[in-house]
Amino acid sequence: MNWQDMLRNHWPYKLGAFFIVFLLWLDLTAGERQSQEVLTRLVIDVQDSAWVLQDAPREVATTFQGRNRDLLALIGNDPEVRIGIREVTGPVMRVNLDPDQVVYDRDQGVRATLVVPTSIELQFEQLAERRVPVIADLVTVPAMGFTVMRPLLVEPDSVTIRGGASQVETIRQVSTRRVSLEELQYAVMRDVPLEVPAGTRGIEIYPPSVLVTVPVDSLVVRQVRLPVRATGSAAGRVRVQPDSVDVVVRGAAAAVRRQLDSVAWVTVQVDAVPTGPQLAPVVVELSTGGFVSASSRPEEVTVRPEGS
């Protein structure tokens, strides 16, 4: 029998024997005591309301002693190093670290023996706050036959930012998180979180979100017959033909209704009496803006001297 046959024969028994040996070794080593270095999250509680923490390490290394099985359980429970700062004495403070500041389950049979580094440097800045406007960063696409009315409505339209003075001074406005809304056929309201401006840190925003309303209206076309009036220094010495025109108004339905309610005539500007028939453009003065356009048919009328 060669060595290959020895490996092939009775391999399930051999594998089982190896597994039993491994379990025995694991049981023996699990009870051994040893030291283990664990990356530990650093939690800093600044209780001095006049200052804000600007820079500090996120983690330190803590050495624990105990049995292997307990050390493995400890790692899964995320120990922390907690530091309370009751009073900030200046922009830079050095704080000592020791094992008593390590928070973990002390019933697990392990003990914190060392924290590295033994001290850390904390950087503070005096707290400042200001009120800044909010910009709604929404991408809005109306459905066919509809339009989005601008500006979007934001409530509240300004918020309070708090943080280190040097950071707060650079912020002129805050924006909402970008939101895309498509195929809009009616007004939409969304509670949208606010974004801390890029490149800043340690900034709090209150309130953290705003209510954004996207007004949507249908697009309509309306036509009305309106009289033509001459205006200008020579208006009383001329006559206009035709004396009325069709006015076509296009835009958001509500704005078109307001426009038609407020316009009673159209005008032509006449600053001098012409020697004969002369074409002049018709002016449709809009009383609402942004969502309405208007044009006359015809676009020009004839101006003649009175009595001609």
Q: In the prediction, which pLDDT does 6 show?
A: 52
Q: In the prediction, which pLDDT does 28 show?
A: 47
Quick one: which H or E segment has residue 189? strand 188-195
Residue type at 260 in one-letter notation = L
**pLDDT 10s per residue in the chain (308 long)?**
545 555 555 556 556 655 555 454 455 454 556 888 888 999 999 999 899 998 899 999 999 988 877 777 776 678 899 999 999 999 999 999 999 999 988 777 888 999 999 999 999 999 999 999 999 999 999 999 999 988 899 999 999 999 999 899 999 999 999 999 999 999 999 999 999 988 888 899 999 999 999 999 999 999 999 999 999 999 989 999 999 999 999 999 988 998 888 889 999 999 999 988 999 999 998 876 667 889 999 999 999 998 76
The distance of Cα 206 from the centroid of its chain, to the nearest Å, equals: 13
Q: In the prediction, which pLDDT does 138 show?
A: 94
In the DSSP assignment, the letter for residue 307 is: T
- Tell me how far apart the alpha carbons of residues 116 and 37 are, in angstroms, rounded to a whole number: 10
Q: In the prediction, which pLDDT does 105 show?
A: 83
- Tell me how far apart the alpha carbons of residues 86 and 38 are, in angstroms, rounded to a whole number: 27
Q: In the prediction, which pLDDT does 17 show?
A: 56
DSSP H helical ranges for the chain: 3-8, 11-30, 68-75, 165-168, 253-262
User: How would DSSP label each residue in 88-131?
Assistant: --SSEEEEE--GGGEES-GGGS-EEEEEESSEEEEEEEEEEEEE
Task: Kindly list the structural domains of the chain, giving each domain's residue range(s) and its CATH number in brackets, ordered by start.
Answer: 31-117 (2.170.120), 127-214 (2.170.120.40), 219-305 (2.170.120.30)
Contact 76, 61 (CB under 8 A): no
- Tell me how far apart the alpha carbons of residues 270 and 233 are, in angstroms, rounded to a whole number: 7
Quick one: which H or E segment has residue 46? strand 33-46
Contact 100, 81 (CB under 8 A): no
Model-level pTM? Answer: 0.64
CA distances (Å), origin 250, targets 96, 145, 292: 73, 12, 6
Strands 158-164 and 111-116: unpaired
The answer to whether the peptide bond before residue 151 is cis (omega within 30 degrees of 0) is: yes
Q: 């209206």: which residue's tokens?
A: 217
